[in-house]
Structure 1
């Protein structure tokens, strides 16, 4: 596996360590100012970092479930499954919030096809206190795909390892981003 590469998000307000071969989707298409989107060059895996309005719940498990359910709604998912929710504490001593993590799956129809794709979802929620912001990182990892974009077991393992590196290394450098 290639060594992770430092990468600036949102003009350097956030830094992460990512796989070096990720493709920045903004080089290929329009991406909203509230998002950073990356793709794996050799599969249908996508990564979305999104600045969202904080959801009502003060319980972070409920809040990440809300974001997962919202993604399922946006994807027109036929079924969803939450496998586990846990916390990765930030023990670096900076002000970046700890990450609430959700591992789940969604059955997502694409292009009006009758057989939906099976997509593993790795999601992290960083609740930015005092800014009414939820920073959400989502890795979408297709494990069965009608159009052949599915990831094999090694690809799933790589995506999960990349997700863990991404989330554990995420550092908010400039909280002014959320003004």
Structure 2
């Protein structure tokens, strides 16, 4: 499979998208909730999560993006710094997801511990929120990109942060732009 051009099925084929190279499906390693697709880089601590979440009614789009960022911070048990750096529109013309009413790209930063360790790693968080009000769904794609690994973190072994094969924001944008709904029955 050529990762640059071939779409991979997600959610049992209900969606498909172009995923980056060196990707490992985390569901092969552990149980993942049905509303998530979780992927890890094979040689770094980077991860990408695609989630189908409840549509946040009564919020502006930027408020919904910030709400989901805070939810990610809570899920990551972000104990240190957690801040939103920017929230910008993601151009609908670049999406294959035709039912998307609006899309927003959020860049943030969180300090998180891995496996309940005391050592805090600094992680850039890139979110793309695709709002699907017709399906009462917020589709969230999160790219976790560790940029500073504490020397006492279990992630410090192997130089995960320095790998030359790291994913980039362009990989995230390619995934989001290629994301396609194949079976709306997933929302039933």
TM-score clears 0.5: yes
How far apart, in 2, do the equivalents of 1:150 and 1:94 lie? 33
- Residue 95 in structure 1 maps to residue 98 in structure 2: yes
Q: CA distance change for structure 1 residues 46 and 94 in 2, over 3 Å: closer, same or farther?
A: closer
Native 8 Å contact 1:57 1:63 kept in 2 = no
Offset, 1:136: 0.8
Q: CA distance change for structure 1 residues 161 and 152 in 2, over 3 Å: closer, same or farther?
A: farther
Native 8 Å contact 2:96 2:179 kept in 1 = no
Please, what is the CA RMSD of the aligned residues? 2.1
Q: Which residue of 2 aligns with 1:123?
A: 127
TM-score (norm 1): 0.88
How far apart, in 1, do the equivalents of 2:74 and 2:139 lie? 19
Deviating 4+ runs (over 4 angstroms):
153-156
Structure 2: unaligned runs, 5 residues or longer:
none
- Residue 166 in structure 1 maps to residue 175 in structure 2: yes
Structure 1: unaligned runs, 5 residues or longer:
none
How far apart, in 2, do the equivalents of 1:153 and 1:60 lie? 35
Structure 1 stretch 46-55 or stretch 108-117: which is displaced more? 108-117
Q: Which residue of 1 aligns with 2:86?
A: 84
How far apart, in 2, do the equivalents of 1:126 and 1:105 lie? 20
Structure 1 stretch 84-93 or stretch 47-56: which is displaced more? 84-93
Q: CA distance change for structure 1 residues 153 and 160 in 2, over 3 Å: closer, same or farther?
A: farther
How far apart, in 1, do the equivalents of 2:118 and 2:33 lie? 30
Native 8 Å contact 2:49 2:141 kept in 1 = yes
Offset, 1:38: 0.7
Count of residue correspondences: 177
TM-score (norm 2): 0.84
Q: Deviations over 1:100-149 (max 9, x none)?
A: 11011101123443331101101111111222111111111111222216
Native 8 Å contact 1:49 1:136 kept in 2 = yes
